[in-house]
């Protein structure tokens, strides 16, 4: 037996291709790199999301009129409606590149920790949504006469926690819905009930940041968001391989 | 009992899709470093068997081992096998080089650009390394999928319809690559319904018909055995 033959027939254990954490990080990085590169080149998701988000905010702005106090009181909720609606557009395209390439089986054929695929897809969605919010919040500030720059830091924290929770659940449900025929219909139907806690926390925390928090209720909403993110990240990451396998 | 010294050993492998049995009670032993042609008409169950061997489809019944890994150990099987499919699983918006880089990052194989460039040169795509795959012809896509297969030195390599879409040079390339794999001790499965294309490379043939393993024979006995089989069947 030649040395090359021996090399090929050597049993390949996970440890030999970069055990545990290293393999996980390498595969996660590969998914994020590939997805963002495709998005940068096609701009399909971002263009659709930005257009839709702007449309939602403009319509709400026209509907609410010029009552500044009303706009400020409802501004937080309106922004999160925009994020939720446009987020669905992004999530429904989470596995689009795989479907165009022939299906999720292509990813399953590549050996290694499958949870890295979920985390990579999640980070890609998170990056896309956070980039959208960089455009969404200033637009809302102009339309709803919100003084966001004064509360930029806490608002960024709430936006990050809320968007993370949205992406955690959304990326998981998008994988569940890949094989469903009426996916565009089924994904929101499945997703929104599961998103109630994170939307509740994000809307209330944002509103308290914008209107003031005399009763100190903010911390309980932040705790809800953190708990939601941690629990669902662990659960979704853990059971993702069951969703990916046929 | 499955022998640990065989590249592939299957006992009673069956797969059902709903009420339809795509494979039924397939027993097969393949020694390491040999080649096997899975022959049979369209819909016979060749691709289903390859997908089970690649660890992406679980058998409904039966047991087996591939290069020492049990068929229920999906990740173990995937680390020991590679499958060239008719779909290719290539990303249109990435270049040929980037597609190979993605495969190498996902699998932990050599990620150096020199290795990827060398493989693209091997499959005749060096001049279009930086071109997006969306602009490739079906033959070029097949060559790139073949290149992705070469990124991973694994004990068992499987190719589903490897000659489809390829021109004469492409078919000769597949022949050369299979010969190199066999020389390196890899076990090669080819699935094709165009038997004439593959026969030169093949040691043995497993003929599958309507989900059942009809017979196995040496490559040069295939015509005779196939004729006799269909005579008996009718």
HEC states along A164-233?
Answer: HHHHHHHHHHHHHCCCCCCHHHHHHHHHHHHHHHHHHHHHHHHHHHHHCCCCCCHHHHHHHHHHHHHHHH
- CB-nearest to A34 from B32, B67, B94 is B94
Q: In sequence order, what are the beta bridge partners of B39? A: B192, B207
The length of chain A, given as a count of residues: 246
Closest residue of chain A to B91, computed from CA coordinates: A101
Taking an 8 Å Cβ-Cβ cutoff, which residues of chain A contact chain B? Answer: 1-2, 4-9, 11-14, 17-18, 23, 26-27, 29-31, 33-34, 37-38, 41-42, 97, 100-103, 105-112, 245-246
- If you average pLDDT over residues B200-207, what whole number do you get? 86
- CB-nearest to A34 from B79, B91, B153 is B91
What whole-number distance in Å separates Cα of residue B228 and Cα of residue B215? 11
Lowest mean pLDDT among A110-124, B19-33, B190-204: B190-204
Q: What is the mean pLDDT of chain B?
A: 89
Instruction: Give the pair of three-digit tokens for residue B233.
Output: 């069947």
What whole-number distance in Å separates Cα of residue B67 and Cα of residue B31? 10
Burial degree of A226 (CB within 10 A; 0-12, 13-18, 19+):
middle
Q: Which residues contact A146 (CB under 8 A, 6 or more apart)?
A: A71, A72, A75, A140, A210
> B207 to chain A nearest CA, in Å?
25
Q: Under DSSP, is residue B24 helix (H, G, I), strand (E, B) or coil?
A: strand
Neighbour count for residue B7 (Cβ, 10 Å) = 25
How far, CA to CA in Å, does A131 sit from each of A45, A54, A120, A188, A195?
Answer: 12, 14, 17, 22, 21
Residue of A31, A109, A115 best to disrupt the B interface, most CBs of B under 10 A: A109
pLDDT in tens, chain A (246 residues): 455 544 554 444 444 444 678 899 999 999 999 999 999 998 877 888 888 888 888 888 888 877 878 887 888 888 999 999 888 888 888 888 888 887 788 899 999 999 999 999 999 999 999 999 999 999 988 888 888 888 889 999 999 999 999 999 999 999 988 877 777 788 888 898 999 999 999 999 999 998 887 888 889 999 999 999 999 999 999 999 998 886
**Do the beta carbons of residue B123 and residue B173 sit within 8 Å?**
yes
What whole-number distance in Å separates Cα of residue A25 and Cα of residue B106? 10
Q: Do B106 and A112 touch (CB under 8 A)?
A: yes
What is the pLDDT at residue B200? 74
Report yes or no: B154 at the A interface, CB cutoff 8 Å. Answer: yes
Report yes or no: B31 at the A interface, CB cutoff 8 Å. Answer: no
**Do the beta carbons of residue A176 and residue A190 sit within 8 Å?**
yes
Q: Is the pLDDT of residue B41 over 60?
A: yes
**Do the beta carbons of residue B57 and residue B22 sit within 8 Å?**
no
Instruction: Give the pair of three-digit tokens for residue A173.
Output: 């449900």
Percent of chain B whose pLDDT exceeds 70: 95
- If you average pLDDT over residues B132-148, what whole number do you get? 93
Report yes or no: B118 at the A interface, CB cutoff 8 Å. Answer: no
- Dump pLDDT digits (tens) for B93-136: 999 999 999 999 998 887 788 888 999 999 999 999 999 999 99
Q: Do A246 and B89 touch (CB under 8 A)?
A: no
- CB-nearest to B108 from A26, A38, A107 is A26
First to last CA, chain A: 38
What whole-number distance in Å separates Cα of residue B126 and Cα of residue B149? 16
Closest residue of chain B to A29, computed from CA coordinates: B105
Q: Do B153 and A7 touch (CB under 8 A)?
A: yes
- The dihedral over CA atoms of B194, B195, B200, B206, expressed in degrees to the nearest 10, equals 130
Report yes or no: B91 at the A interface, CB cutoff 8 Å. Answer: yes
Q: Do B92 and A41 touch (CB under 8 A)?
A: no
R_g over Cα of chain A: 21
Q: Residues of B numbered 44-63 whose beta carbons fall under 8 angstroms of chain A's beta carbons: which are they?
A: 51, 54-58
- CB-nearest to B89 from A8, A34, A106 is A106
Q: Do B88 and A102 touch (CB under 8 A)?
A: yes
Closest residue by Cα to residue A174 from A118, A94, A63:
A94
- If you average pLDDT over residues B173-197, what whole number do you get? 85
What whole-number distance in Å separates Cα of residue A198 and Cα of residue A216? 19
Q: Do A9 and B89 touch (CB under 8 A)?
A: no
DSSP state of B95: B
What is the pLDDT at residue A158? 95
What whole-number distance in Å separates Cα of residue B229 and Cα of residue B221? 12
What is the pLDDT at residue B210? 92
What whole-number distance in Å separates Cα of residue B124 and Cα of residue B118? 10
Instruction: Give the pair of three-digit tokens for residue B103.
Output: 């495969």
pTM recorded for the entire structure:
0.89
Give me the total of CB pairs closer than 8 Å, taking one residue from chain A and one from chain B.
111
> B231 to chain A nearest CA, in Å?
38
Burial degree of B154 (CB within 10 A; 0-12, 13-18, 19+):
buried
CA B146 to chain centre: 10
Closest residue of chain B to A6, computed from CA coordinates: B185
What is the pLDDT at residue A1? 43
Contacts of B110 in chain A (CB under 8 A): none
What is the pLDDT at residue B224? 86
What is the pLDDT at residue A151? 87
- CB-nearest to A110 from B67, B106, B185 is B106
Contacts of B83 in chain A (CB under 8 A): 109
Q: What angle do CA A106, A111, A114 make, to 5 degrees?
A: 80
- The dihedral over CA atoms of B100, B101, B102, B105, expressed in degrees to the nearest 10, equals 130
Instruction: Give the pair of three-digit tokens for residue B28.
Output: 């097969």
Q: Is the pLDDT of residue B3 over 80?
A: no
In 3-state terms, chain B is what percent helix, strand and coil (to 5)?
40, 25, 30
Q: Is the pLDDT of residue B47 over 70?
A: yes
B24 confidence band (pLDDT: 50, 70, 90): very high
């Amino acid at each position: 037996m030649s040395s090359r033959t021996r090399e090929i027939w050597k049993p390949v254990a996970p440890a030999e291709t970069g055990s545990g954490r290293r393999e996980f990080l390498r595969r996660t990085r590969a998914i994020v790199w590939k997805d963002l590169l495709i998005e940068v080149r096609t701009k399909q998701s971002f263009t659709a999301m930005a257009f839709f988000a702007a449309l939602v905010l403009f319509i709400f702005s026209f509907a609410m009129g010029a009552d500044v106090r009303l706009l400020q009181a409802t501004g937080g909720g309106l922004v999160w409606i925009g994020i939720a609606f446009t987020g669905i557009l992004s999530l429904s395209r989470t596995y689009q590149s795989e479907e165009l390439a022939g299906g999720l089986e292509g990813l399953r054929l590549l050996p290694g920790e499958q949870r890295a695929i979920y985390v990579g897809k999640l980070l890609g969605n998170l990056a896309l949504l956070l980039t959208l919010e960089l455009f969404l919040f200033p637009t809302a500030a102009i339309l709803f006469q919100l003084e966001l720059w004064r509360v930029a830091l806490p608002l960024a924290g709430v936006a990050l926690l809320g968007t993370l929770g949205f992406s955690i659940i959304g990326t998981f449900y998008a994988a569940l819905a890949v094989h469903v025929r009426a996916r565009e219909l089924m994904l929101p139907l499945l997703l929104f009930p599961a998103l109630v806690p994170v939307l509740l926390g994000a809307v209330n925390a944002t509103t308290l940041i914008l209107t003031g928090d005399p009763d100190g209720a903010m911390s309980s909403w932040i705790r809800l968001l953190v708990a939601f993110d941690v629990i669902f990240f662990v659960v979704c990451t853990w059971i993702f391989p069951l969703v990916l396998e046929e | 009992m499955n022998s640990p010294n065989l590249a592939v050993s299957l006992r009673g492998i069956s797969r059902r899709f709903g009420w339809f049995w795509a494979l039924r009670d397939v027993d097969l032993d393949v020694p390491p470093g040999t080649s096997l042609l899975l022959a049979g008409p369209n819909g016979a169950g060749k691709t289903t068997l390859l997908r089970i061997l690649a660890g992406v489809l679980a058998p409904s019944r039966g047991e087996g081992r591939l290069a020492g890994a049990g068929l229920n150990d999906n990740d173990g099987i995937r680390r020991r096998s590679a499958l060239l499919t008719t779909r290719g699983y290539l990303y249109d918006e990435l270049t040929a080089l980037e597609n190979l880089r993605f495969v190498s990052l996902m699998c932990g194989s050599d990620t150096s650009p020199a290795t990827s460039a060398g493989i693209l040169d091997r499959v005749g795509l060096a001049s279009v390394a930086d071109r997006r795959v969306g602009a490739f012809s079906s033959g070029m896509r097949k060559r790139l999928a073949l290149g992705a297969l070469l990124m991973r030195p694994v004990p068992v390599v499987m190719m589903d319809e490897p000659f489809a879409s390829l021109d004469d040079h492409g078919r000769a390339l597949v022949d050369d690559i299979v010969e190199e794999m066999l020389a390196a001790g890899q076990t090669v499965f080819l699935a094709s319904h165009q038997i004439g294309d593959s026969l030169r490379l093949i040691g043995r043939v497993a003929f599958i018909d309507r989900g059942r393993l009809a017979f196995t024979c040496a490559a040069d006995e295939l015509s005779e055995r196939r004729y006799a089989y269909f005579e008996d069947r009718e």
